[in-house]
Amino acid sequence: MVRLSRSIGSGGVRSAAAREGSMTARVGGIAAAIAVLCTAAAAEARKHVVRSGESIRDAIAQARAGDRIEVEPGVYHEGRPGDLNALRITGDGVELIGKTRAGRRVVLEYAGGQSFGIWVSPANSAGPGPEADPEKPPCGLDGSTIRGFALEGFTVRGFEQHGLHLACVERFRIEDNVSEGNHVYGLFPVLSRDGILSGNVVRGSDKDAGIYVGQSDRVVIAGNRAEDNLLGLEVENSRDCSVFGNELTGNTLGIIVDILPDKIRLTQERTVVAGNRVHDNNRENTAEPGDIIAVLPPGIGILLSGADTTRVTLNDVHGNQFAGIAVVSLCLAFVLQGEPGCPADLPVNPDPDGNRIVGNRVTGNATVPTGTPLDALLGDLVWDGSGTGNCWSRNRFASSVPPQLPACPKDRDDRD
C-alpha cells in the first residue's frame, strides 16, 4: 500500500456540483414517474381502515385491485405462530399505508415462528416450500406479475427471514418504513421492476442485507438509512438501478454491487451509485459459516464484486477500517474460501468490467490491518487488477492499491 495525496481541483468541484444537480433531476424524474404509475388506479380505489385490535389480514382479503388499506397506529400480530408470513398480498395495485402520527407508529411484529413479515408476489409464488429458494420463485420463470404495490409508514419487526419480501412486482413504492431486526433481509425486492425505495430506515439484519434489490430492473434506492446490518445495501444481478443519497453506517459493509452465479438472471450492469454517505461500517461479520459473504473483512465502504458498467460518483466514503471503494473479481471470494479460483463452469463473467469511479471523497479508510494476506488490499481505493475498462478520476483519497489506477477518459456525463 502506497500513501498518496489527491484532491479535487476547483474546476472539478464545480463540474461535480453540476453533475450532481443533473443526476438529482434525472433520479427525481424517475421517482416521480414511478409514483404516478403506482397510484394510477386511485380513481377506482376503495379505502379500508384498520384500527388497533382489528385484522390487517381481513382487510387484505377484502381488497380489490387499486384499493388502499389505511392502518391506524398500534402493534399488530397477524396470523398464528408458525405461519410462513404475517401478511400476504397476491393481487394487483394494493396500497398498504400506515397512518403514523405524533410518534405513534404502525408496527407489524413477529408472532412467533414466522419467516416473513409481508410477502407480496403472484399467487403461484405466494410462499416457498421448506427447501425452496425465495430468490428463484416460480413467477421468475413463467412471467406472472403483480402490477402495482405500495407500502408506506410501517415498522416491520423481528421476523426470522425477511421483513418485506416482494417478488415479480412491476411498479412498486416502498417509502418511509422502518425494518428492525428482520434477520436475513429487511426490504427485499427480487425479480421486479420500475420501483422506488425511499425514506426507509433499516437496521438489525444480521445475516445478510438491510436493503436488497436482486435480479431487478430500473429500481431507485434513494434517501434511505441502513445501520447495524451485515450488508447495508445490496444490488445484485440487476440492471439500470440507481443508489442515490442514502446513508450507510455501522454495518459490516456499506454498499455492495455484485453478481452471483446461482440466480435466474446472470448479469449485473448499469448501476449508478451517487451522492451517498458511507461511513464507519466496521461491524463484526455475523454471516452464517460457509456463506460466501462470511469471507468479507469488516470495514468496507463500497464494494463492486464482478459488477459491470457501474458508475460510482460524488460519494462521501470515510471511516471504514479496511477499504473505502473496492473493485474486485467474484473469483476473490472463492479464493478466500480456500478454492484455487473460480470454478471452470461458472455461468457468469466473474470479472468487473467498464466501471467508473469518479469524483468521490474517499478518506480516513484502511486504518486497521487484519493481519492476514488480505492486507495487500488495504486502501481508500482498491482494485485487484481484474476485468477491463475500469477507471478512476478526480477522487480525493490518501491511499490506493495499486498506487497508480487507470484514469477515465472524459465522456458526456463528465461534461454535464
> Is residue 13's pLDDT more than 50?
no
CA distance 68 to 318: 42
- pLDDT at residue 133 in the model: 84
* 13 or 122: which leads in pLDDT: 122
- pLDDT at residue 131 in the model: 55
**Edge-to-edge strands, sheet with 68-71:** 47-50, 68-71, 94-98, 146-152, 169-175, 193-198, 217-222, 242-244, 272-274, 311-313, 356-358, 391-393
pTM: 0.90
CB 414 within 8 A of CB 400: no
- pLDDT at residue 139 in the model: 93
Confidence of residue 6 (pLDDT cuts 50, 70, 90): very low
Strand partners, 382: 326, 401
CB 219 within 8 A of CB 174: no
The three grid cell numbers given for residue 185, joined into one nine-digit string: 433481509
Which domains can be identified in the chain, with CATH numbers?
2-415 (2.160.20.10)
CB-count burial class (<10 Å; 0-12, 13-18, 19+) for 40: middle
Which of 309, 313, 311 minimizes the C-alpha distance to 245?
A: 313
Convert 44-68 to b/e letters by CB count within 10 Å (16 or more is b): ebeebebeeeeebbebbeebeebbb
Is the C-alpha dihedral spanning 221, 233, 402, 399 positive or negative?
positive
> Is residue 118's pLDDT more than 60?
yes
CA distance 290 to 275: 34
CB 202 within 8 A of CB 210: yes
CB 78 within 8 A of CB 89: no
> Is residue 4's pLDDT more than 50?
no
Range of 132-136, 188-192, 369-373 with top mean pLDDT: 188-192
Q: In degrees, to the nearest 5, what angle opens at C-alpha 267 toward C-alphas 400 and 243?
A: 60
> Is residue 411's pLDDT more than 90?
no
DSSP per-residue codes, 62-115? H--TT-EEEE-SEEE--S-TT-SEEEEE-STTEEEEE--BTTB-EEEE--SS-S
CB-count burial class (<10 Å; 0-12, 13-18, 19+) for 247: middle
The three grid cell numbers given for residue 251, joined into one nine-digit string: 454495518
Summarize pLDDT for 301-312 with one digit per residue, the tens. 999 999 999 999
Backbone angles phi, psi at 300, to 5 degrees: -115, 130
**pLDDT-wise least confident of 54-63, 66-75, 333-342:** 333-342
Backbone angles phi, psi at 16, to 5 degrees: -65, -40
Q: Is 339 helix (H, G, I), strand (E, B) or coil?
A: coil
Summarize pLDDT for 216-233 with one digit per residue, the tens. 999 999 999 999 999 999
